[in-house]
Amino acid sequence: MEKAGKGRRGIDGHTLLAGVIGWPVAHSRSPLMHNWWLEQYGINGAYVPLPVAPGQFDTAVRGLQAAGFRGANVTIPHKEAACRIVDRLHRSAQRSGSVNTLVFASDGKIEGYSTDGDGFVANVEAHGVSVKGGRALLLGAGGAARAIAASLLDRGVAVVMANRTRARADALAAMLEGITVVDWEQAGDILPSCTMLVNTTSIGMEGAARARFPLDLAQADPALVVCDIVYVPRQTALLEWAATHGLRTVDGLGMLIHQAGLGFEKWFGVTPVVGPEVEALLDADLHHPAADGAG
């Protein structure tokens, strides 16, 4: 859909409402992004932070639905609770084992989606990288890793996973057929045969982190693409290390933006264009002294 034009009316009885549920949630950049899109497309809508304490999630969601909200994003610590409350679980959420987007349908049902995996793929492809076939080494075995692994497997990418606690990676692989698990210390042995390296751990945020990765980028194929889903800092220790070896890198900010688009379209009826303007908006906010690195 084309832009309806910049500018929108103030909040009134016809305003379309959505938000992000989390605890805490004040740090979220989602309101900045969604409200900027609403402004750009001239939509009478608002997207608000919704701080919901643990144990209050179901009550809050039912209240939002009753109050006429169109839906909400879900972040830590409520993603498991979101899986339990939905009436219709989209395949993306089934595959990823988590829900980060709720849609309150016109028939009174709650629909659950996971946009993390497809958001990751869209970001990589926006950087000119084809995500089809090849072999990816994923570091980490949390919810984001499962969502990304599912989206890569769906595109014919062979996925090898390494996690500091092997049992957690084994458990994930048991739930998502097609993943090969190796010990954390053996990840370096796999790297030379990989076309993509994806870090989903917090190591990427640490300044002196390269020694904590179980691999040597000097052994990588020159065509390796190195991705980090962390976006504060945008150039993580891993990405800086990869750049010194001349490897192509993809930071995590675009994933944040792309994964937001599905919910926006579902709630507000417009598929937002992910372009340099919204990226610059978020990048500037992340460089603000108060920026703390959460999404």
Domain boundaries, the chain: 16-114+255-286, 117-251
Contact between residue 80 and residue 98 where contact means Cβ atoms under 8 Å apart: yes
CA distance 253 to 222: 24
CA distance 282 to 268: 21
Give the pLDDT score at 2. 39
Q: Which residues are catalytic?
A: 79
Structure tokens at 136: 């990816």
For tokens 């839906």, name the residue.
71
CATH of domain 16-114+255-286: 3.40.50.10860
Give the pLDDT score at 9. 60
Specify the pairing of strand 101-104 against strand 110-113. antiparallel
Nearest to 214 by CA among 112, 141, 138, 125: 138
Give the pLDDT score at 293. 40
Give the pLDDT score at 7. 54
Instruction: Note down pLDDT in tens along the chain; length 295 residues.
Output: 334 455 556 889 999 999 999 999 998 999 999 999 999 999 999 999 999 999 999 999 999 999 999 999 999 899 889 999 999 999 999 998 889 999 999 999 999 999 999 999 999 999 999 999 999 999 999 888 999 999 999 999 999 999 999 999 999 999 999 999 999 999 999 999 999 999 999 886 766 667 789 999 999 999 999 999 988 888 999 999 999 999 999 999 999 999 999 899 999 999 999 989 999 999 999 877 444 443 4
User: Do the domains at 16-114+255-286 and 117-251 have one common CATH topology?
Assistant: yes
CATH, domain 117-251, list 3.40.1160.10, 3.30.420.10, 3.40.50.720, 3.40.1280.10: 3.40.50.720
For tokens 């990840």, name the residue.
187
Nearest to 25 by CA among 67, 76, 68, 66: 76
Give the pLDDT score at 206. 63
Specify the pairing of strand 101-104 against strand 248-250. unpaired
Nearest to 243 by CA among 227, 259, 264, 257: 227
